[in-house]
Amino acid sequence: MREIRHRELRRMLSAGVQIVDALASHEYNAAHISGAIHIPVGRILPDATASLDRTRPVVVYCRDSL
């Protein structure tokens, strides 16, 4: 896992990356990146396979600074 910068994320989004927001529900509901899939951090392992396309890259974020 590695940290990416905003500019790199924009390039990745245009290439079709999946964005996973791992924030708590109330934080996700308050603000999130458009198109992000909400999977709270405690649910990533059990829910990721059902929610994500395994053929596409994934970016996960869990900080509340958008």
CATH of residue 35's domain is: 3.40.250.10
Residue 62: pLDDT band with limits 50, 70, 90 = confident
pLDDT of residue 66: 47
Residue 36: pLDDT band with limits 50, 70, 90 = very high
Question: Would residue 36 count as lying in a domain?
Answer: yes
Model confidence, pTM: 0.81
Question: Would residue 37 count as lying in a domain?
Answer: yes
Question: Would residue 43 count as lying in a domain?
Answer: yes
Domain that holds residue 26: 6-61
Instruction: Taking residues 11-19, report their average pLDDT.
Output: 93
Q: How far is CA 1 from CA 25, 26, 37, 58, 61, in A?
A: 23, 25, 18, 11, 11
Task: Kindly calculate the radius of gyration of the chain based on its CA atoms and give it in whole angstroms.
Answer: 11
Question: Would residue 1 count as lying in a domain?
Answer: no
Question: Would residue 66 count as lying in a domain?
Answer: no
* Count of structural domains within the chain: 1
